[in-house]
Amino acid sequence: MRYAARRLLHSLVLLIGVSLLSFLFANLAPGDYFSAMQTDPRISAETIAGLRARAGLDQPLPVRYAGWAESMLRGDFGYSLAYNSPVAPLVWERIRATLLLTGTATFVAWLLAIPLGIWSAAHYGGWRDHALNAALSLLLAVPDLVLAIVLLAGAVETGWLPVGGITSPGWDIMDAAARLRDILSHLALPAGVLVLGMLPVLTRHVRAGMLEALRSPFALNARAQGIPRRRLLFHHLLPAAANPLVSLFGFSLGTLLSASLLVEVVTGWPGLGPLFLDAIMGRDFALVLAVVMLSTALLAAGNLAADLLLYRLDPRIRVQ
């Protein structure tokens, strides 16, 4: 417990560090929120300067940081220039959709990766192993975004799945079952893209871990004792192979907010993705920073969870 408390303190320092460096980076990057207005011949430089001053962009960096920190403590998470509104409500509105998507996808990906990896390792060197490897290599080679568009094109062609969004028009008049079906049909495509993107990496690590375990003297020993194969694989070898998988699982938890951002944009999922991408391109910095801070916190939490889990699974490890 003391360990967890100390980690919490470290995470706080981490968050402050991230916010400071983010401010610095954003300050170094060319352009600000108002620079796109400069291309409109109908807006004068004086007006833009006035808008900048109103937004406090003409203030020195420490002053802006102090203003942001104060707003953070109030729970506003800063003030979005594009939306003319505090950031917190904007983010909360969308975070559920993102978590629904990434949570589902992460769960499904692990659910598939573990048996696939074990199966692949159990058939090591055989044609089934090779076939699976080839398929996974293809998934690794195709960028997520291309995959998304391929699936979208298929959805348009067949009409099996809706294209984009999270609910259909007329959602208000649906009953609970219809609503569930509606959400699932919208969720299938973006979640599918994410699962296919996560699957190769996870499966590879499961496979490698299993191979390692299979090669250990302990596996040979167990086989000699006549433990059934399935039982051996799932009950004895999987825990032995778990170490890197636990670290990986920590990453899965830690990237719940950030893993899907681009996929959301491409598949039209109304989560943080479109909001974040617009904000980062548009230099709506408070909004960017809010998402960065949240995902940092989640990343730290995911890693902490992984470390605690590592400790539970492998009592040899003493995490100070």
Partner 1 sequence: MFRYSTFALALVVSALCAGAEDLLVLQDLSGRQGGRLVYAQRSEPKTFNPIFAADSVSREAIGMMMADLVHINRYTQRTEPALAKSWTVSPDGRRYALELRRGIRFSDGQPFSADDVVFSFRVYLDTALDSPQRDLLMPGGKPIVVKKVGDCRVEFDLPVRYAAAERLFDGFAILPRHLLEPAYKTGKLAEAWGLRTPPAAITGLGPFRLKQNIPGQRLVLERNPYYWKADKNGIRLPYLNEVDLTQAGSEDMQVLRFESGESDVIRRVGAHDFAVLEKESRRRGYTVSDLGPGMEYTSLYFNLDPAAGRPGFLRRRSFRQAVSTAIDRNALVRLVYGGHAAPLGTPVPPGNKAWVDASLRPPVPSVSAARALLSSGGFKWSGGNLLDPAGKRVEFSIITSAGNDDRVQMATLIQADLKELGIQVDVVPLEFRSLLDRVLRTHQFDTALMSMADGDADPNPDMNTWMSDGGNHLWNTAEKSPSMPWEAEIDRLMRQQMTVPDYARRKKMYDLVQQILMEHMPLVPLVSPDILVGAKRNLGNFRPALMDHYTLWNIEELYWRELRTGERP
Partner 2 sequence: MMRDLRRFWPPLVLLAAFHAAVVLAGFLAPYDYAEQHRDFPYAPPSRIHLVHLRPYAESPDGKSYPIEFLVHGRLFGVRPPGVVFLLGTDGSGRDVFSRLLYGGRVSLLTGLAAALLSLVLGTALGTIAGFFGGWPDQLLMRGGELMMALPWFYLLLAVRAFLPLHISAVEAFALLIAIIGGIGWVRPARLVRGVVLAGRENGFVQAARGFGAGSPYLIRRHVLPLTFPVVLTQATVLIPQYILAEVTLSFLGLGVGEPVPSWGNMLAEARQYHTIVEHTWLLAPAIAIVPLLLGFLLLADALSGQQVST
Instruction: Say what the alpha-carbon torsion angle 248, 253, 257, 259 is, to the nearest 10 degrees.
Output: 30
Contact 273, 260 (CB under 8 A): yes
Within residues 243-262, the interface with partner 2 by CB under 8 A covers 243-244, 246-248, 250-251, 254
Residue 134 interacts with, from partner 1, partner 2, none (CB under 5-8 Å by kind):
partner 2
Which of partner 1, partner 2, none binds 143 (CB below 5-8 Å, type-dependent)? partner 2
Determine, following the binding rule CB under 8 A, whether residue 239 of this chain makes contact with partner 2. Answer: no
The Cα–Cα gap between 130 and 104 comes to 28
| Residue of the chain from 31, 56, 115, 126 that contacts partner 1 (CB under 8 A) | 31
**Does position 302 bind partner 1 by CB under 8 A?**
no
Residue 30 or 217: the one with the smaller Cβ distance to partner 1 is: 30
CA-wise closest residue to 26 among 290, 312, 217: 290
What are the two backbone dihedrals, phi and then psi, of residue 86, each rounded to the nearest 5 degrees?
A: -60, 150
Residue 247: which residues within 8 A CB-CB, separation 6 or more?
A: 306, 310
Question: For residue 29, how many other CB atoms are within 10 A of its CB?
Answer: 10
The DSSP result for 129-159, as a single string, is HHHHHHHHHHHHHS-HHHHHHHHHHHHHHH-
> Judged by CB, which is closer to partner 1: 166, or 206?
166
Among 28, 41, 125, 316, binds partner 1 (CB under 8 A): 41
Residue 157: count other Cβ atoms within 10 Å of its Cβ: 8
One residue of 274, 294, 309, 311 binding partner 1 per CB under 8 A:
274
Give yes or no for residue 42 binding partner 1 (CB under 8 A).
Answer: yes
CA distance readout (Å), 12 to 9, 39, 109, 292: 5, 41, 31, 14
Which of 78-86, 124-132, 192-200, 205-213 is the region at the interface with partner 1 (rule: CB under 8 A)?
78-86
Given a contact cutoff of 8 angstroms between Cβ atoms, the answer to whether 199 and 108 are in contact is no
Q: Please give the residues from 105 up to 164 whose contact with partner 1 meets the rule CB under 8 A.
A: 149, 152-153, 155-156, 159, 162-164
Q: In this complex, which beta carbon is closest to partner 1, that of residue 156 or of residue 180?
A: 156
> Per rule CB under 8 A, is residue 260 in the interface with partner 1?
no
Tokens of 228: 């059934």
Q: Should residue 77 be labelled a site residue for partner 1 when binding is judged by CB under 8 A?
A: no
Stretch that binds partner 1, among 19-27, 113-121, 249-257, 276-284 (CB under 8 A): 276-284
CB contact at 8 A, 297 and 15: yes
Q: Which does 189 bind (CB under 5 to 8 A by kind): partner 1, partner 2, none?
A: none
161 interacts with partner 2 by CB under 8 A: no
At 86 the three-state DSSP class reads: strand
Closest by CA to 78, choosing from 97, 91, 93, is 91
**Closest approach of partner 2 to the CB of residue 44, in Å:** 25
Q: Any contact of residue 42 with partner 2 (CB under 8 A)? A: no
Which residues contact partner 1 (rule: CB under 8 A)? 29-32, 35-45, 47, 50-51, 54, 82-85, 89-90, 93-94, 97, 149, 152-153, 155-156, 159, 162-167, 169, 264-271, 273-275, 278, 281, 283
